[in-house]
Amino acid sequence: MNAVYDVIVAGLGGIGSAAAYHLAKRGERVLGVDRFHPPHSLGSSHGHTRIFRQAYLEGSSYVPLAQKSCELWKRLERETGKDVFAPVGGLMIGPPDCPIVKSTVLSAERYGLPYQMLTAADTARRFPAYLLQRDEVAVYEEAAGVLFPESCIQAHLTAAVRHGSEIQTRNPVLQWTARNGGVTVHTEKGVYQAERLVLSAGAWNPQLFGFTVPLEVERKVPAWFQPAESPRMFEPGRFPAFVWHCTKELNIYGLPGFNGEGTKVGVHQGGLKGAPDDLPRQASLAEVEELRRLVARRFPLLNQTPVTVDTCLYTNTPDGHFVLGPHPGYQNVFVAGGFSGHGFKFCSILGEIIADLAIESQTDFDIRMFSPTRF
Ligand SMILES: Cc1cc2nc3c(=O)[nH]c(=O)nc-3n(C[C@H](O)[C@H](O)[C@H](O)COP(=O)(O)OP(=O)(O)OC[C@H]3O[C@@H](n4cnc5c(N)ncnc54)[C@H](O)[C@@H]3O)c2cc1C
């Protein structure tokens, strides 16, 4: 087969835009296609902000990936002149023996990452918007911060084009076939051939992967709240990003607003499940009410009526780890999905790893826990 492209990337959100960039930068002839026009607000990579942290509560094995990711985000900023990362620090909050605090400390200790353990009083002194219970502590990581997802995607796509990549938006992949040495990708606007294929369609991956992986799409409802008083306390610099253990079953997270949009707060667990095209994109009153209650309890200085409510999709795996590697049926097809509510910070390094796999059939990073066939 005379391939027109070296690699086709199907889905150009957080992960696919990074993959297209790294592949093109390494000299591959890349075609990137997306069903919508990224960055857009129908998938998993919108809503102004994402938490970046290196001391990693989901497992120490993520630390080397987070460290490299940070380096790559900063390089992307230099290369494109776009603001993609703000190192405003991060607080992991809860009782000293809760999983959030314990696992964060464990991974920081294992990799010698700097952190500070703050009591409730220390936290209130340094970051006065945070009113912890007396029995709670905060692990402060100065190197943590906030990524701007729309800007990250825009930067990766712009740089991918600069490196010769062709990008087609509003062009859904309908189906693909593969055989040794080539893939054929059928899209709404045409049929394309390449040597290799990357499937990075986020919440729509289950429809494209072509083998069974237990991915579950869950709709989340983050909201933005303006301060009722003391607005300076909520500004970046005085208000680090946070993850807060509220109960055994419930964590909330949040980030400062950078452009007057307000403080973002969301609940990590729970939400409507279903296929992405079937899930309602309007939040229910009950969902907003739950958030209001949680915010009132933790941040009494915020106005309890949100100024904006959004919906966004997690794509969860049963173990919370990603799905990344060669397709079990075809060595020239690579799958990237199941980012389970914590994948954005890794887009830059995962883009590089996808390029390693697609170009060299191997990577120096340990991605065994992401094996697509582990379930
Ligand atoms: C509310 C919320 C908060 C989060 N907070 C954090 C956080 O603080 N830190 C963090 O690290 N992570 C966080 N995450 C997780 C992170 O945002 C996701 O893991 C990440 O964005 C997933 O990227 P993706 O590329 O897989 O999906 P997307 O960015 O959704 O990209 C998939 C793309 O594929 C395209 N597509 C779909 N079907 C087709 C098709 N048939 N043909 C062509 N293209 C197609 C879509 O249009 C889309 O552009 C959060 C997620 C949510 C929802």
The stretch 188-205 carries a mean pLDDT of: 97
pLDDT digits (tens, 9 = 90+) for 131-141: 999 999 999 99
The whole-number pLDDT of residue 4 equals 87
Task: Please give the pLDDT value at position 333.
Answer: 98
Q: What's the mean pLDDT when you consider all of the chain? A: 97
pLDDT over threshold 70, residue 3? no
Q: pLDDT tens for residues 217-253?
A: 999 999 999 999 999 999 999 999 999 999 999 999 9
Chain centroid offset of residue 65 CA: 13
State pLDDT tens for residues 284-330: 999 999 999 999 999 999 999 999 999 999 999 999 999 999 999 99
For residue 2, pLDDT over 60 is answered with no
- Angle (CA) 153-159-163 rounded to 5° is 140
pLDDT at res. 103: 97
Q: Check whether 1 has a pLDDT greater than 70.
A: no
What's the gap in Å between 288 CA and the centre of ligand 1?
Answer: 22
89 lines ligand 1 (CB under 6 A): no
Burial class (CB in 10 A: 0-12, 13-18, 19+), 156: buried
The response to whether residue 335 sits with its C-beta less than 6 Å from ligand 1 reads no
Task: Report the atom number in ligand 1 closest to the C-alpha of 174.
Answer: 41
Q: Looking at the DSSP assignment, which residues form a beta bridge with residue 192?
A: 185
CATH no. for 87-146+217-316: 3.30.9.10
Give 47-79 pLDDT, tens digit per residue.
999 999 999 999 999 999 999 999 999 999 999
Ligand 1 binding pocket includes 16 (Cβ within 6 Å): yes
Instruction: Tell whether the model's pLDDT for residue 157 goes beyond 80.
Output: yes
Over 60: is that where the pLDDT of 179 sits? yes
pLDDT of residue 69: 98
Residue 334: band (very low, low, confident or very high) from pLDDT cuts 50, 70, 90: very high
Domain spans of the chain, in order of start: 5-46+150-214+318-370, 87-146+217-316
Residue whose Cα lies nearest atom 48 of ligand 1: it is: 13
CATH homologous superfamily for 5-46+150-214+318-370? FAD/NAD(P)-binding domain (3.50.50.60)
312 is an active site residue: yes
Check whether 161 has a pLDDT greater than 90: yes
**In this predicted structure, what is the pLDDT of residue 329?**
95
Q: What is the pLDDT of residue 367?
A: 97
The closest residue, in CA terms, to atom 21 on ligand 1 is 45
What pLDDT was estimated at residue 121? 98
5-46+150-214+318-370 and 87-146+217-316 share one CATH topology?
A: no
Q: Is 348 close to ligand 1, i.e. is its CB under 6 Å away?
A: no
